[in-house]
Structure 1
Amino acid sequence: MRALAAWGVLIVLSAMLFGLLEWADLPAAMLIGTMVAGIVVGVRGGKISVSPLAFGAAQSMVGCLIAASLTPAILPVFMAEWHLFVLSILATVAASSALGWMISRWKVLPGTVGVWGSAPGAATAMVLMAGAFGADQRLVAFMQYLRVIMVSVGAALVARLWVDTGDVALPDPVWFPPLDPHGFGLTLGVAVAGTVIGWIVRLPSPHFLGPLVLGSIAHLAFGLELQIPHWLMMLSFAVVGWAIGLQFRSETLRHAARALPQVVLSILALMVFCGAIAFVLAHEMGIDPLTAYLATSPGGMDTVAIIAAATHSVDVSFVMTMQALRFVFVLVMGPSIARAVARLVKT
């Protein structure tokens, strides 16, 4: 397959899959759609790849996006019931780490893929950082995005069975909003400066972590607003999806297919474990059961936010505080935990 034809097939197939996933209301439609399109083209012999410069720029935008999504509003809710949040988050991370250890120990997937792929949140961040620590990004992405889909669908089904959530959905995004010169300029500056600082201090995945750290400081400590327009966010997701998907080859796909039953079981086990935590919170602490379930749902934060907002009985602040704190914990501690579990796998 010639390069020009391969790029044409990739773009058309990506657009079709994105439209289909958006129509089905599945989370991370652009990221998953472009990754699947990349897998198809890569496995079918398309000899194309995303340039390192484009992949690095896309990672820096994802870092800025995550930094902009963090908010100090969770602090008062956390302080009121900090022990519930801490215990729930630690229990979830411990369970996911144990599942990752078993997947790696039993060689369901090669190397430390199981450890990185089992992290209960921050899917894109875990995929980007896994490559910097020597894990196979393709298979980590396979595990992470399968979990995102299963958890999101599970949360939607539980909420639908519990109460009628109606037809509430997020408003249609504005693809080309007016650009704020200060916010957009700050975003570009954070992306470039963060990447440079990341390289200087030798951060793993400097394109991603450098802008994330610098953007978080600018946003949380100094109250500066980053602007990432929707078109740039979607383009960045597309580049990340293509960069990962185009690396797939037939043998990688066979690995993923062979491991699919075990990976699905591990995700279901984590969902059941988190459901048990929700049961304890509801039974022992008097928290609304649906609030507890959505708060402890291991990932799918965007979908959980929509469901929580659509259900009047749910304590949205509790749900989003739990989700955001676990996201930040996994983001900050994920690499250290993954390395520690990986060492246990090798012993």
Structure 2
Amino acid sequence: MHSAKAKLLTLLLAWAAAEICRRMHMPVPWMLGPLLATALATLAGLPTCSSLRLRNGGQWVMGASLGLYFTPAIVTQLVNLWWAVLAAVAWSLALGMVYADWLYRSCAGRLRGVPDESLRPSAYFAGAIGAASEMTLLAEKEGARTDLVAASHSLRMLIVVLVMPFGMLLAKSWWSLEAVDVAPQASAMSFTVAGGAWLALFTVAGGLTLKLLRLPNPWFLGSLLVAIGLAASETAPATVPTLLSNTAQLVIGVSLGVRFSPQFLHTAPRWLAHVALGTLGLIAACAAFAAFLAWVTGLHPATAILGTAPGGMTEMSITAKALQLGVPVVTALQVTRLVAVLILVRPAYHLWGIHRRDGAHSRQP
């Protein structure tokens, strides 16, 4: 099928799924509906297709939308929580290494055609929490099986994105989720065509700047940083219309769903089974840490859970926005973790390898 026609039919399928999920009152319908529909259609062998330009546009819109929540009061709150943000980063890095070690030990010698020298880096970069595409590229440089790394991040993303919104809804029986503050400027600001044009111009410039600098996720991070600057200085010219935000969530959901090709299920079933089991363990461990973080900081538990969840930065921030669960804190925690992972994960891998070799030598008679 011609790619343009495939993209159009995929978008129509995604829109229908989003509308059904909205009518069913599902959480985050404009992302979860398209994600589920396109994933199932792709696994069934249908010719689904995602547009990279639309995905980048969706990330640009969501970056601007989320950045407008960072009012001066919110920025002050985040500055006072700097130590909690660093603690969350350290926790994520340590947890990723523990998970990687468990994944390696569980699959070593049990995957046909995967020698130990490629399984070790595969497990490590598959266990890193965040920056899926960047982890795949780094894994390739270390001799890992990139198909295993990419498959593990895709599966973990799917599980986390599905579990967290429904988990937050179930948590309503214990917490009053409506009590989480939403930045007043983000909700009260109006939209005008002129203001929207200026906002688009500024945020596109931010995205292009980060793209020229070859930084990861440039359209999301560049737009986010510019919008944060505008909101924090109280000079934001407009808000992002709900329709545009919903459309951005839809194309992001599609971009996640099309990853699950029929070949995906044939990618080392034992590996995928352990990734799925390990992901549930990661969610539980992060939730326990989030409960502790909420207790010592006074943050709402739901906000802390989404901020430390082992999912994607964009997806967890969208979930926080849709459910109104402390968007700035969640976004700040997720963005800081992404930056830390990108900077530290490769040096940490070499330390991890040295530690494992030293441990092996110490056990020899």
Q: What TM-score, normalized by structure 2, do the two folds share?
A: 0.65
Is 2:152 aligned against 1:143?
Answer: no
Partner SS for 2:214: coil
Distance 1:242 1:279 in 2: 32
Give me the TM-score of the superposition, normalised by structure 1.
0.68
Using the alignment, how far apart are the partners of 1:213 and 1:281 within structure 2?
25
Deviation at 1:14, TM superposition (A): 1.9
| Alpha carbons of structure 1 residues 266 and 344: separation in structure 2 relative to 1, 3 Å | farther
CA distance in structure 2 between the aligned counterparts of 1:51 and 1:163, rounded to whole angstroms? 39
Q: d(CA) in 2 for partners of 1:301 and 1:145?
A: 15
Q: Deviations over 1:182-237 (max 9, x none)?
A: 43112321343223322332223433333333333333356324532122222222
> Would the aligned equivalents of 1:115 and 1:341 in 2 still touch at CA under 8 Å?
no
Taking a change above 3 Å as real, the CA distance of residues 214 and 231 of structure 1, as seen in their structure-2 partners, is same
8 Å Cα contact 1:101/1:345 also seen in 2? no
Displacement, 1:68? 2.5
Q: Which residue of 2 aligns with 1:90?
A: 90
Which residue does 1:61 correspond to in 2? 61
User: Counterparts in 2 of 1:231-242, with a 5 A limit?
Assistant: 231-242=243-254
Identity %, equivalent residues: 19
- Deviation at 1:302? 6.6
Q: Residues 42 and 257 of structure 2 are in contact (CA less than 8 Å); yes or no, is this contact kept in structure 1?
A: yes
Tell me the equivalent position of 1:220.
232
Q: 1:91 to 1:42 in 2, by over 3 A?
A: closer
In structure 2, what is the Cα distance between the partners aligned to 1:256 and 1:18?
32
C-alpha spacing 1:186/1:320, structure 2 compared with 1 (3 Å): closer
Equivalent residue number for residue 333 of structure 2: 326
Whole-angstrom distance in 2 between the partners of 1:27 and 1:108: 37
d(CA) in 2 for partners of 1:264 and 1:191? 37
Alignment partners' CA distance in 1, 2:253 and 2:324: 28
CA offset at residue 294 of structure 1? 5.5
Q: In the alignment, does 2:343 pair up with 1:336?
A: yes
SS of match in other structure, 2:267: helix
Inter-partner Cα distance in structure 2 for 1:225 and 1:101: 49
CA distance in 2 between counterparts of 1:82 and 1:195 reads 26
* One of 227, 243, 262 as aligned partner of 2:255: 243
Q: Partners of 1:61 and 1:180 in 2: how far apart? A: 16
Among 205, 208, 211, the alignment partner of 1:199 is 211
Counterpart of 2:335 in structure 1: which amino acid? V
Residues in 1 aligned to 2:71 and 2:268: alpha-carbon distance in whole angstroms: 36
Does 2:38 align with 1:38?
Answer: yes
Task: Encode CA deviations 1:157-188: one digit per residue, 9 max, x unaligned.
Answer: 3441x36879x9x9xxxxxx974134311232
- Select between 266-275 and 101-110 the one with higher mean Cα deviation: 101-110
Alignment correspondent of 1:17: 17
d(CA) in 2 for partners of 1:16, 1:151: 23
Cα gap change, 1:191 to 1:256, in 2 (>3 Å): farther
* Paired letter, 1:333: A
Partners of 1:68 and 1:131 lie apart in 2 by 31
The 1:255/1:344 distance shift into structure 2, 3 A limit, reads: farther
| 2:170 paired residue among 154, 157, 170 | 157
Q: Distance in 2 between matches of 1:27 and 1:130?
A: 29
Q: 130-139 vs 250-259, which deviates more?
A: 130-139
Bigger shift: residues 58-67 or 298-307: 298-307
Q: Does 1:190 find its partner at 2:190?
A: no
1:278 deviation in Å?
5.6
Query: Quick one: distance in 1 between partners of 2:244 and 2:156?
Result: 26
CA contact (8 A) 2:35 2:257 kept: yes
Q: What is the alpha-carbon distance in structure 1 between the residues aligned to residue 233 and residue 160 of structure 2?
A: 33
Change (3 A) 1:329 1:77: same
Aligned length: 320
Q: Runs of 5+ in structure 2 lacking a partner? A: 108-118, 141-145, 183-188, 310-315, 355-365
Q: Secondary structure at the residue paired with 1:69?
A: coil
RMSD of equivalent CA atoms = 4.5
- Contact 1:64 1:212 survives alignment (8 Å): yes
Unmatched 5+ stretches in structure 1: 120-125, 171-176, 310-318
- Output aligned runs, 1:176-325, within 5 Å: 179-221=191-233, 223-255=235-267, 258-259=270-271, 261-277=273-289, 291-292=300-301, 295-296=304-305, 298-299=308-309, 323-325=330-332
